[in-house]
Amino acid sequence: MSRTIYLAEFSNGPRPAHQSVFMPTGNAGTKGKLIHVDGNPALGFSLEFLRNFDYADFPTPYWISELGAVDARFVTDTPGNGQLSKDAVARDQLESVATLVAPPGRSLNPFDPALKSGLSADTVKDLCTRMLSLKDKCVHPTSQKPYILSASGGADNSPEGMQNGITHAFVVEFASEEDRKYYLEKDPAHLEFVGSLKDVIEKVQVVDFTGGVF
């Protein structure tokens, strides 16, 4: 007995489609396991198994194509409680083979030139580069040294279709609330950068959090 393997492609707007391997539970239907990589070009990607994934519920266009077949003894259905879940632990031989394929690493050029209509690739790259360069340009008023602990970011590549128009994400880490307050309200380098965004940014969403505090 064999199990059918499918290529699942999900629309990602103006960017390249997100491609995954899909195997329906019981070898039929729209619900099953999705094998793909998750991450972003700036930080790299990691293998992920989505269990009880139903592509019929996906909010954007998708295409399902038959790839081939594999012996059924190499595949184990893992429906559990029937709810969508994700992990990176192989539970059958097919998933074990997937772990042997190294996911893409960090890109030297993580910026998508098709990010927005009307913006050139150079404009997008310059904007993102200037955002990340604030880590070195922003200096503390007392020490006169950079005070941002870390800054990272990348272009959206989520297959879930819930971005609500957000195309890029950046994470900036501070040592204290006082440093964050200075960055937001007084740092001249940051304020100058924010002022330059008026004509190139359509929407901004900001979330602040303290790691481990829920």
- What does the pLDDT average to over 50-56? 94
What domains are defined for the chain?
2-98 (no CATH), 121-195 (3.30.70.100)
Residue 110 reports pLDDT greater than 70 = no
Q: Is the pTM of this model over 0.75?
A: no
Secondary structure, 3-state, the chain:
CEEEEEEEEEEECCEEEEEEEEEEHHHCCCEEEEEEEEEECCCEEEEEEEEEEEHHHCCCCEEEEEEEEEEHHHCCCCCCCCCCEEECCCCCHHHHHHCCCCCCCCCCCCCCCCCCCCCCHHHHHHHHHHHHHHHHHCECCCCCCECEEEEEEEECCCCCCCCCCCCEEEEEEECCHHHHHHHHHCCHHHHHHHHCCCCCCCCCCCCCCCCCCC
Condensed to tens digits (0 to 9), the pLDDT of residues 144-200 reads 999 999 999 888 888 887 777 778 889 999 999 999 999 999 999 999 988 887 777
Asked whether residue 137 carries a pLDDT value surpassing 60, the answer given is: yes
Q: Give residue 195's pLDDT.
A: 84
